Amino acid sequence: FGCPTLINNVETLSQIPYIVRRGVEEYRRVGTDNSKGTKVFALAGKVRHGGLIEVPMGTTIRQIVEQIGGGVEGGERLKAVQTGGPSGGCIPAELCDTEVDFDALNHLGAIMGSGGMVVLSESDCMVDVARYFLNFTSEESCGKCTFCRVGIHRMLEILNRLCSGKG
């Protein structure tokens, strides 16, 4: 049930009734030129109001964090937003005026993925964040390709050494 492909397919199929009732032109009015409709995100991390949200494509990451999420909790400043689940990427605060759009996120080196959006504050250590997600992907990898079977474990070893002062 956690398969991103399954989640994205269900999300896509859920749009069909709207399109049938209101028409494709009405549906195409929402979103950006290259990414139509809406996207569901699981907003989490150092944000005041986390949860499942649905936003029109083209909403900026900053709008999501500040207007929907209520801003960064504890009065801290926004450091970055991690998108796309464990295999995604981190978007630094200075790029959070980027619109949520498949192409725009790819251009930043991130992905939309299954819709994870984790807000990171100035007190979060990016090495610890990378290590957390690498640990998850190393445990969940199917191990069929060399890049995951060997590469992720090797990267995790390096980060563990750095964090223990043996870098």
pLDDT at 93 over 50: yes
Whole-number pLDDT of residue 2 = 46
Query: Under 8 Å CB-to-CB from 127, ≥6 apart: which residues?
Result: 159, 162, 163
Query: In degrees, to the nearest 5, what angle opens at C-alpha 87 toward C-alphas 9 and 80?
Result: 110
15-31, pLDDT tens digit by residue?
888 889 988 888 888 88
Residues 97-144 pLDDT 10s = 999 999 999 999 999 988 999 999 999 999 999 999 999 988 888 888
Predicted pLDDT of residue 45: 97
To which residue do tokens 């896509």 refer? 12
